[in-house]
Structure 1
Amino acid sequence: MPMTYAFWNNKGGTGKTSLCFQSMTFFAHQNPDMRVLAIDVCPQANLSELLFGGLTGKGSEVLLARQNEPTRRTIGGYFELRLPNAFSVPAIDPDVYISHPADYNSAIPDNLDLIAGDPILELQTNAVSTLANTQLPNTPTWLRVIDWIRDLVVTLGDRYDMIFVDANPSFSMYTQIALASADRFVLPVMADDSSRRAIQNAFSLVYGLKLPSEIYTQYAFATKLRAEGRELPKVHVIAKNRLTQYVVAASGYSAVLKTIDADVKTLMAGNPDMFSASEARDVMVEIRDFQTAGVVSFARGCPFYAQKPGRMEINGKRVGVKSEYLENCVKSVQALVDQL
């Protein structure tokens, strides 16, 4: 089975998709002999649009064409296969759902494939939740549904060496299905107090830690998964995202950053089984603010390592990217990739 990393935070705006995009493309580029699969389990499908070419490469049009194929070439198309017989594994042809982004975007490594995101996930979520909570004798209905992506990965066998999953900033059923398929997850956080609270929220949702009442324990994701003898994904990286370009830890953020570090150390000390490492320094990564370099990169669907400094036209406007800022972006992403 390939190693599967999920990028997730239940708080939006933490740079989850941008870090997932940069990390997977860097990894694929630096490991050309390895096969990499991206699974976009987000109805916004921003990761898919980036991989297909971004704004300037008409990535949204490519994505729409994938959604309009006779069988949707998306994660939503795969879920459509599972809905009629939710509790048994049908015959799965994974190639029906897999795209090859390099066919549309020359900046993407040839060894990276994609199961695209799909807004239809929002329409499917009520049906998926209802199915998961159905009571049938001698049938673990919740587990059968929560394993939908895991079933797909099993079907792929040893075809891929690494899988990256971009999960929606929510804890809906499709997000739980995504996280249940992962071995490890990357948790991006911002250098602000709301992200500090988001770390605590994430651990409550995934691991059932410090729930407000015992009433919630029996329904918790962690409780259900452990009851089926399954392991939870381990926190592998906490990426402190969008720090200033000018200093390692901007003075305005330093107090919050120190508090986040202290919170993580406390979590690791009390719950070492939730992490893939034993020391906080081995899970914490600092990410510089991508600034204009990030705007250009994502408009073009271009990884930082393939981007050139200087002025270029984006959507009718001339935009400049400074060489030193671009170099900082590359170094930041590389620090994260080195942890994988």
Structure 2
Amino acid sequence: MVKKYAFWNNKGGTGKTSLAFQSINLYAETHPDERILAVDVCPQANLSELMLGGLNYKGSEKLLAQQGLVPRCSIGGYFQLRLPSPYTVPPFTPADFITNPHQFNAAIPENIDLVCGDPLLELQSNAVNTLANNQIPGSNPWIAVIDWLRDFIGPIEHEYNVIFFDCNPSFSLYTQIALAASERLVLPVMADDSSRRAIQNAFSLVYGLKLPSDIYLAFAFATKLREAGRELPKVHLIIKNRLTQYMGAASAYAAVLTAIERDVTALLKTNPEIFTFTNVKDGFTEMRDFGTTGVVAFAKGQPMSQVQVGKQTVNGHRVQVKKDYLDNAKTALADTVARL
């Protein structure tokens, strides 16, 4: 049965896309007999640019070329197809919107397919919101729109073993469409107070927990999905990211991470149904800041496995990848991917 993961946090700057890029690639490398679909549901489309070659190898230009195809080979192209037919699925061919990034970037494993991201999502968002909030007697326009990605995946689900969604750091309707199509959430956090607030907000937004007033409950994402008989995605993994940026987990910032663990421990007692794990330690991994290793990997659109130790040129600058830093990044990444 296909597994469906969403990398998401409603706070920006947590390293979500970089973790998604490296995790998807390592998963594909360690599961060569499986097929993986990455769906970039972010108007910034950074995951797609990395997959297609990064800054050094014209990932942005290759992405623009995909978006220039007819039909537009991106998530925006699929949404454009759905705008005139929001409540019934029109005839379409999923392959028209899927790219194999290995054909553009040899560093990416061949068993990864990609639905490219698209800035068009931002332009489409007002129309999508209007369509979802229409009042049509005897029907549920909101759930019909929320199902757009489920409609896309349905005909091809049997072709893939794992589907990863890289989501926008927001709770826009297109983010909700992605979350509703996923089964498991991967939430990156950083060791600062804003990350603690962000993860508390995430539980409110997705599960309707601790809302400021009951008046919001009827409009909550969780309420609407449950009323339609749908399962909510469950929190599967919380990644403590960029620890070396805060002088290691043993620093004063560890207090914030401990507080996040306490919050999750409390929710495991009151709302165990929203997690895939029962022991809080099973739900957390630690990731050091990728540093120069990450700069090189993302400039070249490379998985960590292909980053070379030593001096290299990135955007005309000489940088050095140190072996211990690269090894630490690989070890931490392998621990995270082992949980998927």
1:74 equivalent in structure 2: 74
The residue identity in structure 2 corresponding to 1:80 is Q
1:122 equivalent to 2:122? Answer yes
Shift of 1:157: 3.2
The residue identity in structure 2 corresponding to 1:90 is P
Residues 80-159 of structure 1 aligned to structure 2 (within 5 Å): 80-159=80-159
Q: Is the 8 A contact 2:246 2:253 kept in 1?
A: no
The residue identity in structure 2 corresponding to 1:71 is P
2:218 equivalent in structure 1: 218
TM-score in terms of structure 2 length: 0.98
Q: Is the 8 A contact 1:245 1:325 kept in 2?
A: no
5+ residue gaps, structure 2: none
5+ residue gaps, structure 1: none
What secondary structure is seen at the aligned counterpart in 1 of 2:83?
Answer: helix
Cα distance in structure 1, aligned partners of 2:201 and 2:308: 39
What secondary structure is seen at the aligned counterpart in 2 of 1:53?
Answer: coil
1:20 equivalent in structure 2: 20
Shift of 1:245: 7.6
Shift of 1:246: 9.9
1:179 equivalent to 2:179? Answer yes
What secondary structure is seen at the aligned counterpart in 2 of 1:56?
Answer: coil
Q: Is the 8 A contact 2:297 2:304 kept in 1?
A: yes
Does the C-alpha gap of structure 1 residues 245 and 135 become closer, same or farther in structure 2, counting only changes over 3 Å? closer
Cα distance in structure 1, aligned partners of 2:176 and 2:243: 29
What secondary structure is seen at the aligned counterpart in 1 of 2:198?
Answer: helix
* Displaced runs of 4 or more, over 4 A: 245-248
Q: Is the 8 A contact 2:6 2:167 kept in 1?
A: yes
1:208 equivalent in structure 2: 208
1:321 equivalent in structure 2: 321
2:252 equivalent in structure 1: 252
Q: Is the 8 A contact 2:32 2:111 kept in 1?
A: yes
Query: Deviation per CA, 1:60-94, whole angstroms, max 9, x where unpaired?
Result: 00000011112110000000111101000112201
TM-score in terms of structure 1 length: 0.98
Q: Is the 8 A contact 1:34 1:161 kept in 2?
A: yes
1:50 equivalent to 2:50? Answer yes
What secondary structure is seen at the aligned counterpart in 1 of 2:237?
Answer: strand
2:195 equivalent in structure 1: 195
1:338 equivalent in structure 2: 338
Cα distance in structure 2, aligned partners of 1:51 and 1:211: 38
Q: Is the 8 A contact 1:147 1:180 kept in 2?
A: yes
Shift of 1:208: 0.3
Cα distance in structure 1, aligned partners of 2:117 and 2:308: 28
2:281 equivalent in structure 1: 281
Cα distance in structure 2, aligned partners of 1:108 and 1:58: 15
The residue identity in structure 2 corresponding to 1:165 is F
Q: Is the 8 A contact 1:239 1:286 kept in 2?
A: yes
Residues 155-174 of structure 1 aligned to structure 2 (within 5 Å): 155-174=155-174
What secondary structure is seen at the aligned counterpart in 2 of 1:96?
Answer: helix
The residue identity in structure 2 corresponding to 1:116 is C
Identity %: 59
Cα distance in structure 1, aligned partners of 2:246 and 2:204: 34
Cα distance in structure 2, aligned partners of 1:271 and 1:333: 29
What secondary structure is seen at the aligned counterpart in 1 of 2:174?
Answer: helix
Number of equivalenced pairs: 340
Q: Out of 261-270 and 31-40, give the one that drifted further.
A: 261-270
Provide the aligned C-alpha RMSD in A.
Answer: 1.1
What secondary structure is seen at the aligned counterpart in 2 of 1:166?
Answer: strand
1:59 equivalent in structure 2: 59
Cα distance in structure 2, aligned partners of 1:275 and 1:214: 23
What secondary structure is seen at the aligned counterpart in 1 of 2:189?
Answer: strand
Cα distance in structure 1, aligned partners of 2:256 and 2:121: 35
Query: Deviation per CA, 1:183-241, whole angstroms, max 9, x where unpaired?
Result: 10100000111101111000000000000111111000000000001010000000010
Cα distance in structure 2, aligned partners of 1:160 and 1:203: 29
Query: Deviation per CA, 1:24-75, whole angstroms, max 9, x where unpaired?
Result: 0000011111000000000000000000000001000000001111211000
Shift of 1:269: 1.4
Cα distance in structure 1, aligned partners of 2:246 and 2:151: 46
Cα distance in structure 1, aligned partners of 2:167 and 2:251: 32
Residues 293-312 of structure 1 aligned to structure 2 (within 5 Å): 293-312=293-312
Does the C-alpha gap of structure 1 residues 279 and 209 become closer, same or farther in structure 2, counting only changes over 3 Å? same
